[in-house]
Structure 1
Amino acid sequence: MNDVGARSSKGLKLATSYTSTSLNEAVQLRLDTSNDAIKPQTLPEFFRETCEKYAELPALMWETTGKDKSWQTLSYAGYAKRVEQAALMLLHVGLEERSSLGILAFNCPEWFLAELGALRAGGIVAGIYPSNSPEAVHHALATSEATVCIVDDDKQMAKLRAIKHRLPRLKAVIQLHPPYDSFVDREEGFHSWQQLELSVYGTELQQELLRREQAIYANECAMLIFTSGTVGMPKAVMLSHDSIVFDAKIVSDTIENTVVGAERLVSYLPLSHIAAQVFDICLAMTFGGCVYFADKDALKGTLVRTFVKARPTRVFGVPRVFEKFQERLVAAEANAKPYSRLLLSKARELMTQHQLAKIAGEKCSMYGLAKYWLAARLIRPIREMLGLDQCKTFLTGGAPVTSELKHYFLGLDMPLGDIYGMSEMGGAVTMHAHITNLYSSGAPLRGIEMIIHEPDASGQGEIWLRGRNNFMGYLGEPAKTMESISAEGWVRTGDMGYLDTHGNVVLSGRLKEIIITSAGENIPPVHVEQLIGQELPCVSNVLLIGDHRKYLTVLLTLKTKCDPQTGLPLDELRAETIEWLQQLGLHQTHLSDLLNIRADLKLPSDSNALAAALKIDAEPKLLAALEAGIKRANVNAISNAQRVQKFALLPHEFTTATGELGPTLKIRRNIVRAKYAPLIDRLYK
């Protein structure tokens, strides 16, 4: 690795503003607000420091493809060498200084190598979701000023083949994995990663790499994160080197009892998202951890297999990931012998009591410790089955977490700690590593300022944030940047919430998602949806409707199984749904029988989904039970205006394959409302 010397002596690039919308400008850093010893660093500096400190420790582990599958290990010393080679490769094919490298691929070692190589070469990284359409890919590459793009396989290469002629700055496309079409490595501008990595690059290119790396500053843009965007194409969030490194370090400082060289993480959430960038790439480096890579089907059911191999010590997942674990365990328990189910139920009950007492700060008696020990012995095989028996931290965020889900995992000695963050803040903002309650997302991390803007009588308002991890701006969009960042540097999050008496952040929904009824009542939908979900364990999705309407209604979906290959919802009901129905005297095992619709109508297209929804003639006992559950939820409503009056059943669960969930498994509310607009209108007639 070339020695570029100590960068800290060089200082920061001259900047006159805390914001920027250009890849060629730097920004001022809010060093006075951090009040700590974390020095500004570029990501290449941070990476170099890590590799020198932990040279012999394992950094990355992955399973090879083909007939002779095996797990490969790369040490931090080897990691550094391969990143340098990747940087030379990118220079060779034409990556321009202060231009972007687009990466259109699922998580893999090459993702990490390419990213860190591009950053060493003075580039910017722009991750693109593999599920994006060719037009969305074109938007990302054009917006990010990409001069090189890396793609996963031949399917992703086909997207680039179709749009490359419309991208005059794009010099090269590199394909990571076979099979390769005939033009790869034959036509100019189309390369395979393997061929480039085997090449030898001369001293002239190495000197250019050294020059570029010496010209990088911590207050320049390092990464673009594309927002999901509810309307129109997504915006590109600009994050500086310092923002990302700073956030990773304050998260690392907050996680308790880390052991250098002994921490194991699994990379499976999209690296196009800031959460995976901070957790997988940067957080692992702070304590010399090893990252294992899951395969492409991780979220379709193979994640547990990787967990069993890796035995991760820290896990982060969106709530849907933990819901899938719960579904798997509930199904397994349903097939167990009655005596085993009884023992497990009692063990979960004892464990939940122990965890709740611990959260409340109560001292545990010797008798209590004995009960905990016994419960842990019974529960341990379940954690081993999930590959989570050595995991010490379970973090979840990105979407609301139900109380029912938290209690379920408390019973498995797996307390879920909330983490709240956003792309515009470079990652995490609050974290509940040491859980003190089940309703909040914890207190702000050190160095981050937070205020509740214009709170109402109950103290609730929009959350505003400020710190070193502030984003620079939206690339090429000064007006939208000014809308998001106040003159005093506060990032307007668009999230509603309040601070409890202990300074913990309690989230209540998105400002843009706030429903304003025709009577002028402001209603955060998440709270109402959670109340209904708690009363109806058979329901997988609850979506509140009522903006500019006289009263509230909800759309409901029942829990069904999912095709592990396609991700499409199946007709077969889940075990917990069947058990709940049996209590009503209903014995259907398939959704189509329960709703009296044709199974073949439940397809991902809008027209077929709507056709099925309009023809639903559900069992009267089911409708009565759902209505009763909604009435029970209404009892706990904050006001009469927050009570739900009507509901409608939908013909399938929300999934990414059917379009209702985005890449990070959040509900795309506008999509659902548009898809079922005629059905919603019927609820108001």
Structure 2
Amino acid sequence: MPVVKPFSTIAEMFDVITRHFIDSEKPAYLYKVAGVYKPLSYKELREMVELTACGLAALGLKKGDKVGIISENRIEWIIVDFAMTTTGIIDVPVYPTLTAKQIEYIFNNAGVKATFVSNQVQLSKVEKIYDNVKSLDKVIIFTEKGITAPEYLLSLKELMELGRDFREKNPDYWINMIREIKPEDILTIIYTSGTTGEPKGVVLTHKNLVSNILSATQVVPMTPEDTFLSYLPFSHSFERMAGFYAAFACGGIVALAESIDTIAQNLLEVKPTVMTSVPRLFERLYNRIIKGVESGPALRKKIFYWALDVGKKYVQASKKGNVPAWLKAQYALADKLVFSKLKERTGGRIKFFVSGGAALAKELGEFFEALGIKIIEGYGLTETSPVLTVNRLDDYKFGTVGKPIPGVEIKIAEDGEILARGPNVMLGYYNNPEATAEAIDKDGWFHTGDIGYFDEDGFLVITDRKKHIFVSSGGKNIAPQPIESLLVQSNYIDQAVVIGEGKPFLTALIVPDFEAINDYAKQQGIQFQDEKELLHRDEIYRLFEREIKKVNKELAQHEHIRNFRLLEKPFTIEDGELTPTLKVKRKVVEQKYKELIEKMYEELGV
């Protein structure tokens, strides 16, 4: 079902949706308070948003001013975002994992006048840079202020009190501001985390986001009966559009996960019907399932693989529209013995997952489909608000990112780069006309930086990022992403980065799944003091050699991994090796492990 009510701006969306559900017993949001999910009604949400919006006006902030948000996902993020988007203030969301120096660059580049912070940790970053950001005046903290608060700080509670006083004197201010906002007005400036260089501010209008919401909800069914579990950062365009705005526009209930680490528990508590995610979650889930099966009794193992085989046959037969009675009976038994128990781990009500942010391995999609869990993959970029293509529930193909959504044009350039055009394409990069001219050509085509092609059925296939494709010293073009996707399907491999730019062959940096190798060591009777010692044991090295040989069998000769190193700690956002959507910053990793990489090649005579 499309959106509940028509709208042309995010401000109007908030107004019409909250009015429509104002007396509904159904909550707009569920969020954790003292370990328990608490509902927030549309009536309460509307009141809090209006008070916050009026509070910002009381501080002298007006339409066109830029205000930051440095926060994890929490209910206050939603309230302050809607307060800004309904009054024409341009919000500048910042990942809470960024350093003070990175925030300083973004705030100076955008000319941020005020910022919201979630807690004392985020406040301490702003305190370090406050004097260096000349445009910055007020800072509003979601929690209590603390004893030694700087004079420019006020709490969200205090802001709402200012808003209450302002509203008494200006009762029609907020609703008049909502009506003033036009589709062409700037909604937000999102700074791309970028795997290289300084971040660029992507300028998105109300029209950009609204067009994407309306198009995406035409092809991905969401209804007021749906419950969403949201865990990806709202600072990222994928969750902002899909898990936040689109879910709200369709009248669904959005439950906020406490963090990435609590998803397993939150799934059971919330029992969502729809969830947006990145492939990393499915990789972890897959590895956990397989590990549980492999370490279990022989009979359980036999039943699981029998059920998986039945599931795959059932899916194929269903697609042809001809499921024989014996297969239906086998599938019902497989569901009772295996699939239903696995689906219970997702809360038992999930209709489908939407995957974005990175490539989903074809094999993963097929695996979960056989279990009765459908994952539909889409593709887009911050610069395109973000969705360009998506697989439909009734028209999908794993290993592809689907077909263009309504209103979006896609074409492939001569060099294989994917170009996009439509109402969702950004205005440009803030204060950066050179980068804008480089990204959007004179005919309005946005150059995505991704390489891909349309298959014979019109589905878009992404090969890799243009800048990630490297050329071996033998002149072969190699896309590392598909090779890395194969590597992480191993139960023993958690993360992998393939190396090979200008080299005669490929090597890999591998982060083991430490839980899995610990279990393997115990089964094999391998004695060790700690994980560092375990990684240096010959038995473990041989285990990974075997895993890599399995992957090499599926690759062309020039794509074979000839050497590898096991790393002692995973790539993290905190160490600057991952973007907030868990994509590896390839250049950072290559620089950090430069000596290790050189040794891998030296060992083989390079």
After TM superposition, the score normalised by the length of structure 1 is: 0.81
One of 229, 233, 237 as aligned partner of 1:274: 237
Among 186, 194, 197, the alignment partner of 1:229 is 194
Change beyond 3 A, Cα 1:490–1:559? same
1:317 paired to 2:277: yes
Whether 1:289 aligns to 2:249 is no
Counterpart check, 1:637 vs 2:555 = yes
For 1:382, the equivalent position in structure 2 comes to: 341
Number of the residue aligned with 1:664: 581
Aligned partners of 1:532, 1:83: CA distance in 2, in Å?
46
Offset at 1:205? 4.3
AA of the residue aligned to 1:157: L
In the alignment, residue 245 of structure 2 is paired with which amino acid? C
Cα offset for 1:138?
A: 1.4
Say if 1:152 and 1:440 are closer, same or farther in 2 by CA, change over 3 A.
same
Q: Aligned in 2, Cα 1:380/1:195: closer, same or farther, shift over 3 Å? A: farther
Number of the residue aligned with 2:447:
492
Structure 2 CA distance for aligned equivalents of residues 433 and 229 of structure 1: 29
SS in 1 for 2:464: strand
2:260 to 299, 302, 322: 299
Residue of 503, 521, 525 corresponding to 1:549: 503
Cα offset for 1:404?
4.0
The 5-angstrom pairing of residues 263-662 of structure 1 reads 263-295=226-258, 298-300=259-261, 302-330=262-290, 332-333=292-293, 338-358=298-318, 360-379=319-338, 381-383=340-342, 385-434=344-393, 436-455=396-415, 461-533=416-488, 536-561=490-515, 573=517, 575=519, 582=524, 591-596=531-536, 618-619=537-538, 621-638=539-556, 640-662=557-579
- Where 1:137 maps in the other structure, the secondary structure is helix
What letter matches 2:499 in structure 1?
I
- Aligned counterparts, 1:7-46, within 5 A: 41-46=8-13
In the aligned structure 2, how far is the partner of 1:181 from the partner of 1:419?
44
Contact 2:358-2:583 at 8 Å conserved across structures:
yes
Q: Letter of the aligned partner of 1:61 in structure 2? A: L
Q: Among 154, 172, 182, which residue is 2:138 paired with?
A: 172
The residue aligned with 1:181 is: 146
> How many Å apart are 1:316 and its aligned residue?
1.2
How far residue 494 of structure 1 moved from its aligned partner, in angstroms, is 0.6
Q: Distance in 1 between matches of 2:529 and 2:213?
A: 46
CA distance in 2, matches of 1:587, 1:347: 36
- CA distance in 2 between counterparts of 1:679 and 1:77 reads 58
Structure 1 residue corresponding to 2:590, chosen from 650, 673, 678: 673
Residues 1:241 and 2:206 aligned together: yes
Comparing 194-203 with 221-230, which one deviates more in the overlay?
Answer: 194-203
Distance in 1 of aligned mates of 2:334 and 2:286: 18
Instruction: Report the residue type matching 2:555 in the other structure.
Output: A
User: Which residue of the partner structure matches residue 64 of structure 1?
Assistant: 33
Change (3 A) 1:555 1:206: same
CA 1:649–1:336 in structure 2 vs 1: closer, same or farther (change >3 Å)? Answer: closer
> Counterparts of 2:313 and 2:203 in 1: how far apart (Å)?
45
1:373 counterpart letter in structure 2: A
Question: Could you give the per-residue CA deviations for residues 185-212 of structure 1, whole angstroms, max 9, x where no partner exists?
Answer: xx53211112332452234444544554
**How far 1:314 moved relative to its partner?**
0.5
Q: Is the 8 A contact 1:533 1:539 kept in 2?
A: yes
On the 8 A contact 2:66/2:89 being kept in 1, the answer is yes
**Structure-1 separation of matches of 2:267 and 2:552:** 40
Maintained 8 Å contact 2:402/2:459? yes
Q: 1:133 deviation in Å?
A: 0.6
Say if 2:83 is the partner of 1:123. no
CA distance in 1, matches of 2:401, 2:60: 44
Does the Cα contact within 8 Å between 1:554 and 1:647 map onto a contact in 2?
Answer: yes
Q: Distance in 1 between matches of 2:542 and 2:299?
A: 33
| Residue ranges of structure 1 left out of the alignment (5+ in a row) | 1-37, 456-460, 562-571, 597-617
Q: Which amino acid aligns with 2:188?
A: M
CA distance in 1, matches of 2:476, 2:295: 47
Deviates more, 1:653-662 or 1:243-252: 653-662
The answer to whether 1:51 aligns with 2:18 is yes
User: For residues 397-446 of structure 1, what are the alpha-carbon distances to aligned partners after superposition, in whole Å with 9 as ceiling and x for unaligned?
Assistant: 21222344334323431132211111010021111232532211111111
Deviation at residue 642 of structure 1 after TM alignment: 2.9
Closer, same or farther: CA 645–383 of 1 in aligned 2, 3 Å: closer
Q: Which residue of 2 aligns with 1:608?
A: none
Q: Deviations along 1:353-405, whole A, 9 cap, x unmatched?
A: 323444x4342122222222222222355345423311101121212223443
CA distance in 1 between partners of 2:348 and 2:88 (Å): 41
Q: Distance in 1 between matches of 2:216 and 2:447?
A: 22
2:71 alignment counterpart: 105
2:50 to 80, 84, 87: 84
| One-letter code aligned to 2:47 | K
Could you tell me how far apart the structure 1 residues matched to 2:390 and 2:355 are? Answer: 9
The amino acid across from 2:365 in the alignment is K
Q: Secondary structure, in 3 states, of the residue corresponding to 2:406?
A: coil
Q: Give the conservation status (yes or no) of the 8 Å contact 2:493–2:512.
A: yes
Deviation of 1:171 after TM superposition, in Å, equals: 2.0
Q: Following TM superposition, by how much is the alpha carbon of 1:518 offset from its aligned partner in structure 2, in angstroms?
A: 2.7
After superposition, the Cα gap between the structure-2 partners of 1:70 and 1:557, relative to the gap in structure 1 and judged at 3 Å, is closer
Task: Spell out, residue by residue over 1:298-357, the C-alpha distance to the aligned partner (whole angstroms, 9 max, x if none).
Answer: 212x11222222111101111112223334444555665554444344333322332344
How many Å separate the matches in 1 of 2:425 and 2:398?
A: 28
Pick which of 415-424 and 208-217 moved more. 208-217
Structure 2 residue aligned with 1:606: none
User: Structure 2: how far apart are the matches of 1:321 and 1:94?
Assistant: 43
1:667 is displaced (CA, Å) by 1.0
Change (3 A) 1:387 1:524: closer
- SS of the residue corresponding to residue 364 of structure 2 reads helix
Count of paired positions: 593
Given the two structures, how large is their TM-score scaled by the length of structure 2? 0.91
Identity %: 26
1:283 deviation in Å?
Answer: 1.1
| Cα distance in 1 between the residues matched to 2:559 and 2:342 | 39
- Corresponding letter in the other structure for 2:281: V
TM superposition shift of 1:143: 2.0
1 CA distance for matches of 2:431 and 2:568?
42
Distance 1:117 1:682 in 2: 55
> What is the deviation of 1:503?
0.7
Q: C-alpha separation between the residues in 2 aligned to 1:138 and 1:573? A: 42
- Indicate the SS of the match to 2:28: strand
Change (3 A) 1:407 1:560: farther
For the structure 1 residues 677 and 101, does the alpha-carbon distance in structure 2 shift closer, same or farther, using more than 3 Å as the test?
same
